[in-house]
Structure 1
């Protein structure tokens, strides 16, 4: 019987030309299927533009699609080619609440300055080169929700995906007039100047959790079988720096699959983080986990040894899958890493889990608890207690 695993890869527009033509997309899907992958996460929201003709973007900003893709629908092309070779497709909203990278807010905040996130000095919120929209602003939330829902409604996809920017906001944000007033109304004082004050962190993280709960419900209303996948920063660093409280997301059941980004450049570091992560998951939530593994970034490329070790270690921990950042790493050195996977850990095909599979894991836990109760009662009867 085929095993069930999440074998995924992110498809980007950064440092990749896959989206430039239907032919490149078809070749990429062929390589992924031949290598043993079963799901692809194509970017659909990056650098303030979409990779599909978006009514929301057209109505809000007058820019329907990424300028390099005018006259085409790259998302539809990816879906067609992925289906041809049996791959699942979960579109990835990479930019999330970010507005631009080193562009002072870019086109989005140029047109909507009131959507800007602010730091404690009232400046446009920036972190690691990215400028941010205000993730607590109702209009910004509505805008992002509409982007997600138009993809979920109009395309034959298997789910949608958020990441380390969605839902997220750098902890230095939240000092805009709207959020300050909201905090003052609840606590009777201004937010603390220390962005990592415990109560202030949790209060803002809860707003993002509420947003995700709403998004989850709206996606399920369109199609209850669509998967809501999230790839957050690792906890609790991601909580302290980007307000991502994913243990709460799991507890509330508002994420179906989760891919914490264990982006480490050597196996020992990966192993240490993966071990720590395990304590954040229960028997019921562990099947939802497939960590993000850094395959390529700039001049870095994962070694074949580390690649194989990481997958083997995941399986030893009871983790059935991983997602690689990103596709171009498979093609380095004449498809060397693709060959390693195809001839090694991914040699045998694996079925991508359905939502029912992920939910059945919880049922099994309930059943085993019920069996324990029955056994306990039976022992009571037998011992005459």
Structure 2
């Protein structure tokens, strides 16, 4: 049933009541005159008889305008309120900078060209219905932002350490927020170089902590067993969250590197140091403990630097073979030292985005079964599941548009047990409309807008915004500096989210009809809607 919206009426009392008060006042004056001098002003002591009920309809809330009020006198008591909500989902796209996969398209672009590419990409995400961008800002222990801790990325200028002359992360945040998108900083924690043959800048962590930088295959990785390495990456996270208005931080699946057959990872030195200090864990348990300690420290740094910032990890899609029954594949728990369930149990992550890059038709890695398994684990911990879907295969065998419909449907079917949207790899496939997948999300799967869900441990209450309608323009403001933006609902029928605007946007143009505008804070908590009608 559609909620009924009532205007807040403010009217004067009937003239008969005013006349009655005047008659009583005259009798009182006459009585006092007969008895002596009047030592108080009867007008100042006259009761107002105001009556604004705590419950009931807005039509029952009436205020006495006083005996001098004309029948047209009104008191501005503010707009009515109504409860508003909608199904909330995190709808993100991964924007890869490594190898110039998504953005920038090549090294050495001018600032103007790189900025134009990025705004075009963000526009494509908005058109597809996304509400967040996961921008890779640290692909190989470098920076796509102005950093005193790490060198500029070679994927910008072509030379590691060479400044591009502008700050891509700050620009990306401004442009994303202007479009109503969240911006999550995507970091690769321990990858130091994708190509070991290329020179590293003097300020690179693999240069400064060379004893903990290991050549493994053709890449260089930093040893997670080194406290100095872990502390450095946590300092990088803290620096980003402290200086940039990012909405979230997300790590991908690269902790200990994917194993190379016949080549053990060369962490003998850090494991020997651990044993020399009295440690008794097996090497695989030692590695997991290192990653767990790192994830926990990153969580604490983020919470301390900017409360409300989301923190997520995108692990390999299989936790362990046989979980759930019938699943086969890489054992991330052993091979990558990635104990995702430990991070959930410790409350260190707000969401997991496991990389479920298999079709629903797979027998060894069935999408729906894996999604349900992950959802059961995140739900038990009170966290979100936002699985990563593979758009790079769109249009190939077993990956027609029906496959993506099935995957999104499977995830939405788990909404009651912690599933809260999806993340799409990669943004370029939405931009290029690979196999029609961009059109599918724009016109069907993400056609109706949605806000990301609130933090699972969010607390407090949010008050509605102050709204003033001037013609067709609603002017918005809020006293709480923690407000991130405003959700605009059409309420001619059941409340339906129409759009989302960031808090720095002070106004919104409304068509004719009834509207409700709520405020959303940094935790994602939403207020009631302030109701207004544009006649």
Both proteins in one fold, TM over 0.5: yes
Could you say which structure has the greater relative contact order, defined with CA pairs below 8 angstroms and 6 or more residues apart? 1
Deviation at 1:77, TM superposition (A): 1.5
Task: Give the TM-score of the pair, scaled to structure 2.
Answer: 0.58
**Which has the larger share of strand?**
2
Q: Which moved more, 1:21-30 or 1:179-188?
A: 179-188
Match of 1:164 among 249, 253, 261: 253
Matched residue, 1:185 = 277
- 2:356–2:389: 8 Å Cα contact kept in structure 1? yes
Match of 1:67 among 153, 157, 165: 157
1:1-385 equivalent positions in 2, closer than 5 A: 1-13=85-97, 14-18=100-104, 21-58=114-151, 66-68=156-158, 70-93=164-187, 95-103=188-196, 107=200, 108=204, 109=206, 112-117=209-214, 124-126=215-217, 129-165=218-254, 167-170=255-258, 172-173=264-265, 175-187=267-279, 199-234=282-317, 235-236=319-320, 237-265=331-359, 267-268=361-362, 269-285=366-382, 287-296=383-392, 302-318=399-415, 319-333=419-433, 336-355=436-455, 358-359=456-457
Gaps of 5+ in 1: 118-123, 192-198, 362-385
Q: Which moved more, 1:328-337 or 1:177-186?
A: 328-337
Distance 1:36 1:267, change over 3 A: farther
Larger radius of gyration: 2
Deviation at 1:46, TM superposition (A): 1.2
Matched residue, 1:195 = none
Give distance in 2, aligned partners of 1:135 and 1:76.
29
Distance 1:3 1:147, change over 3 A: same
* Residues 169-228 of structure 1: per-residue CA shift (max 9 Å, x gap): 55743633233121243257xx8xxxxxxx332222012111111111111111111111
Deviation at 1:274, TM superposition (A): 1.9
Give distance in 2, aligned partners of 1:245 and 1:232.
9
Give distance in 2, aligned partners of 1:63 and 1:327.
20
Q: Which moved more, 1:20-29 or 1:246-255?
A: 20-29
**Which has the larger share of helix?**
1
- 1:105–1:132: 8 Å Cα contact kept in structure 2? no
Task: Give the TM-score of the pair, scaled to structure 1.
Answer: 0.79
Distance 1:26 1:335, change over 3 A: farther
* Residues 242-281 of structure 1: per-residue CA shift (max 9 Å, x gap): 0011101000000011101112255543224223334433
Aligned length: 336
- 1:304–1:337: 8 Å Cα contact kept in structure 2? yes
Distance 1:27 1:313, change over 3 A: same
RMSD between aligned residues: 2.8
